[in-house]
Structure 1
Amino acid sequence: MRSFAGQNRDKFQETIVPSKFTQNRIWATAAATSLAFALTACKTAAPPPPAAQAMPVAVASVALTGVPLSDTYVSTVKSRRTATMQPQVDGNITRIYVVSGQAVKAGQILMQIDPLKQLATVQSQQGTEQQQRATLSYNQADLARQKALFEAGVISKQAYEISVQSFQNSKGAVDSAAALTVTQKQQLAYYQIRAPFAGIVGDIPVHQGDYVSPTTLLTTVDENKDLEAYIYIPTERAADVHNGLAVELTDTAGNVLANSAINFVSPQVDNGLQSILAKAPIPASSKLRNQQIVNARVTWSTTQAATVPVLAVTRVGGQSFVYIAAPKDKGFVAHQVLVNLNEAIGNNYPVLSGLHPGDKVILSGIQMLQEGVPVMPLPPSPAGAAPAAAPAS
């Protein structure tokens, strides 16, 4: 039999340390309580998130405007007056009086070729002329004596006619020698290379002391006015090209350098290029130069089409997109639209498809926009003013 102390010890342990069955009941009760709290929390609805703030953006309504239908071709600027300077005689260059790029007047000396050989020829010819004149003087005096003797009946008519013939021969020889002397003197002018007209000296590939011949290129002289644009138009446009078509001469960046109109269309087709030559005069106020390569934009006609500013266009994967402010729930959201564009004209792209009149094209904050972002349309900023900035997030 257990002692009274042992029985008291067992009751004390049951009171202080619960049994395994009692522990399981405690854990089950705690789990049920947690589940009840979770279900109660699920039944309580979460508060709605605050509405997104609309981003102010500048917009412009799409409207139909006159858009020129044009094509761009490579064009060469040429002067109506340009000269390639080549000598007409052989010799060594003794002086070069000008430098490349120098403006010269008509008749101004550009270069000097050694004329000593020609001077010797001129002097020799002058000596020959003097001999012929001396012979003429003698024959003229002899003719006068023979005439007097013939009239006196001292000599025969044959002797008199021989004197007349000698005089005529010597007279012809003098005339020939004088003409040859003049020719040799004029030949001296070829040893001075002169500007044929007022213009600008081009590159000078020769140097002082070089030996030159008629095949040697000395330099060029260009008159930088009366310029024309040579435009080669494909034969596919043969039926459309005619005098009066507007032409814009532009650089590689699209900046307009000069405005003109076609005033000549060749009646023949270039066999090598299979194109038609058209010319357009260039205003004297332009800064174009002879032989300069430019782009010529030929306008065939004008049609009504929508346009979109260049800055409103984004390109993704080689395709063009614009954002428009689309109405939604009493407000506006950004909506990305795929557009098909033509070649840029100034600061605008003509739109071939994708937009309709009245669409509000977003002009500012393009980099911050995403599909469906709330926006607040604003009128476009004045020219030169910065567009409205998007609010910081």
Structure 2
Amino acid sequence: IGGGVAVVLLILFAMMARSRGDNASAAETTKTETITVGTENVAVATTGSIMTGPTISGTLEPEREAVLRAQVQGSVLQTYADQGQGVGPGTVLARIDATGIQDAYNSARAQVVAARNAADIASRDQARNEKLLAAGAIAERDIEQSRRASIAAQAALEDANSRLATAQKQFRSTTAASPFAGIVSERPVSAGDVVQPGSALFTVVDPSSMRLEASVPADQLSLIRVGVPVTFTVSGYPGRDFVGHIVRVNPTADPTTRQVRIYVSIPNAGRALVGGLFATGRISTSARTGLVVPASAVDVRGTAPFVMRIKGGKAERVPVQLGLNDRTSETYEILSGLQAGDTLLLGAAQGISPGTPVKVTMPATPAATSSSVPR
């Protein structure tokens, strides 16, 4: 019996030793297991620019635009510019038939000449009668008559001059001239067309500066002020940024949308921009250069934000101090905790436990993939 008990005890000791060895081996295997992640699950901290501010959008329009309209009725004799043609200040663009207006202008000039002569004669008569009165050669009533005649002649001269100015203005209105240097964008009339007062003749724009009108929510009004820069991307120019600045802010909000209208001026010295293009802008209320990481790399659910960094081939949890948050580009500024070049985990890979070995694999190239397929 004693020998049987001893055998049983030996068997139990052997089984327990084997179990401990298996558990240690399993623990060692678990401890050294390496987790592989793809490049889509990692990001690198980089030094770059980051900004905050509301986004705006709208259609670009020339900052200066003039619609030249007919001031008088008549037939268009000739046009001197076409759409897309550059013009200078004072350049004549069209002439309207001025036959009747020319006659009225000539008549007004003749009336001025006649009225001036009559005023001169009345003035000389008054001066002569003043001398005769002083010598006692005429009565007081005679000089009064001369004075009234001189006053009436001067009034007639002023009336004639006024009529001449009106006729001259109408005569000049038969010529349409550009008010500033620019480009003709529209020309709705041609030679031979009969126009009425108010009919559009030409539209001239100054393309050296563009304007964007946009709206921002009233709760962001504290971020808006005159002079704040705005960075734009414009349809038709992918990958190119344009910079303007706020020049005016509407003092009242729209009662329906509760948004405030702002006006942005964009220099266009190279004339790359044209009116009618759609632009999306970003008001740069705060901007600086620093360490930038994707927002998806930062866990802000707890009391203190942190990231999961790969260092020395293992995952580690690193507390970080955050700066600006660019909601448009979905990035954070890191003030402390990381350095440029640090590799961070994203998405589901952030659930890897600290201390776990991590390996980043590059995606296989098509050539490598095809060569690995057995024939």
TM-score for both structures, normalised by structure 1: 0.59
Deviates most, 194-203 or 160-169: 160-169
1:96 corresponds to which residue? 79
1:222 corresponds to which residue? 205
2:268 corresponds to which residue? 284
Deviates most, 276-285 or 245-254: 245-254
Q: Contact 1:58 / 1:364 at 8 angstroms: preserved in 2?
A: no
1:247 corresponds to which residue? 231
Paired residue type of 2:74: G
1:211 corresponds to which residue? 194
Kindly tell me: are residues 156 and 96 of structure 1, through their superposed partners in 2, closer, same or farther at Cα, counting changes over 3 Å? same
State yes or no: 1:180 paired with 2:163.
Answer: yes
Specify which of 224, 244, 269 is matched with residue 253 of structure 2. Answer: 269
Percent of matched pairs sharing the same residue = 22
Question: C-alpha distance in 2, partners of 1:180/1:147?
Answer: 32
Q: Deviations over 1:193-216 (max 9, x none)?
A: 111100011111122222223321
Q: Contact 1:60 / 1:362 at 8 angstroms: preserved in 2?
A: no
Kindly tell me: are residues 63 and 139 of structure 1, through their superposed partners in 2, closer, same or farther at Cα, counting changes over 3 Å? closer
Kindly tell me: are residues 260 and 354 of structure 1, through their superposed partners in 2, closer, same or farther at Cα, counting changes over 3 Å? farther
The 3-state SS of whatever aligns with 1:224 is strand
Q: Contact 2:60 / 2:277 at 8 angstroms: preserved in 1?
A: yes
Structure 2 alignment gaps of length 5 or more:
1-37, 297-326, 331-344, 353-357
The 3-state SS of whatever aligns with 1:226 is strand
Paired residue type of 1:89: V
The alpha-carbon deviation at position 159 of structure 1 amounts to 1.8
Specify which of 51, 63, 73 is matched with residue 80 of structure 1. Answer: 63
Q: Contact 2:186 / 2:204 at 8 angstroms: preserved in 1?
A: no
The alpha-carbon deviation at position 123 of structure 1 amounts to 1.5
State yes or no: 1:63 paired with 2:44.
Answer: yes
Kindly tell me: are residues 163 and 285 of structure 1, through their superposed partners in 2, closer, same or farther at Cα, counting changes over 3 Å? closer
Specify which of 278, 286, 289 is matched with residue 293 of structure 1. Answer: 278
Equivalent positions of 1:24-35 (< 5 A) are none
The alpha-carbon deviation at position 264 of structure 1 amounts to 4.5
Kindly tell me: are residues 103 and 71 of structure 1, through their superposed partners in 2, closer, same or farther at Cα, counting changes over 3 Å? same
Equivalent positions of 1:159-178 (< 5 A) are 159-178=142-161
Structure number with bigger Rg: 1
Q: Contact 1:222 / 1:290 at 8 angstroms: preserved in 2?
A: no
TM-score for both structures, normalised by structure 2: 0.61
The alpha-carbon deviation at position 118 of structure 1 amounts to 1.3
Structure 1 alignment gaps of length 5 or more:
1-56, 309-341, 346-350, 369-387
The alpha-carbon deviation at position 167 of structure 1 amounts to 2.2
The 3-state SS of whatever aligns with 1:185 is helix
Aligned residues: CA RMSD: 3.8
The 3-state SS of whatever aligns with 1:281 is strand
Q: Contact 1:226 / 1:281 at 8 angstroms: preserved in 2?
A: yes
The 3-state SS of whatever aligns with 2:207 is coil
Question: C-alpha distance in 1, partners of 2:189/2:256?
Answer: 34
Q: Contact 2:235 / 2:277 at 8 angstroms: preserved in 1?
A: no
Kindly tell me: are residues 160 and 238 of structure 1, through their superposed partners in 2, closer, same or farther at Cα, counting changes over 3 Å? closer
The 3-state SS of whatever aligns with 2:76 is strand
Deviates most, 285-294 or 252-261: 252-261
Paired residue type of 2:250: S
Alignment: residue pair count = 278
1:123 corresponds to which residue? 106
Specify which of 272, 293, 315 is matched with residue 305 of structure 1. Answer: 293
Q: Contact 1:306 / 1:355 at 8 angstroms: preserved in 2?
A: no
The alpha-carbon deviation at position 107 of structure 1 amounts to 0.6
Deviates most, 93-102 or 146-155: 146-155
Kindly tell me: are residues 390 and 261 of structure 1, through their superposed partners in 2, closer, same or farther at Cα, counting changes over 3 Å? farther
Kindly tell me: are residues 88 and 271 of structure 1, through their superposed partners in 2, closer, same or farther at Cα, counting changes over 3 Å? farther
Q: Contact 1:62 / 1:361 at 8 angstroms: preserved in 2?
A: no
Kindly tell me: are residues 352 and 295 of structure 1, through their superposed partners in 2, closer, same or farther at Cα, counting changes over 3 Å? farther
